[in-house]
Amino acid sequence: QVQLVESGGGLVQPGGSLRLSCAISGFTLDFSAIAWFRQAPGKEREGVSCFSTSDGSTYYADSVKGRFTISKDNAKKTVYLQMNSLKPEDTAVYYCATTLGFDGDIWYLGRVYDYWGQGTQVTVSS
């Protein structure tokens, strides 16, 4: 059974940092991409970042470029999202997702992904 488990969320002041983790288990085939999405109350789900395992390409939403970094630890089957210079507008539930098929042109669309975690809350507030 495929499982994605996020952790690392919490309350942080503006300008602070958090590192989210997504532990992946149960895959019998190699997944082709791992992404982070977020959803704030009353807003649509937004693609934040993606890591393509086929070529190591990374993708970021314009709103987080230069502040967030996605990385992957193959040995631990874990993907990280390092979030720096956090802003109140980054407040959301963050989800990781994976897919066996991947198209980098549409990495930000939730429908591309087959498996999702349960989410972890990130709150940026003073």
Distance CA 118, CA 46 (A): 15
pLDDT in tens, 7-64: 999 999 999 999 999 999 886 567 789 999 999 999 999 999 999 988 899 999 999 9
Q: What are the CA-CA distances from residue 15 to residues 81, 85, 88, 116 (Å)?
A: 16, 4, 9, 28
pLDDT in tens, 82-101: 999 999 999 999 999 999 88
Q: Rounded mean pLDDT of 114-126?
A: 96
Answer yes or no: is pLDDT of 66 > 80.
yes
Q: CA triplet 112, 36, 86: central angle to 5 degrees?
A: 150
The more confident residue out of 102 and 72 is 72
Q: Which two tokens stand for residue 40?
A: 């704030």
Distance CA 30, CA 27 (A): 7
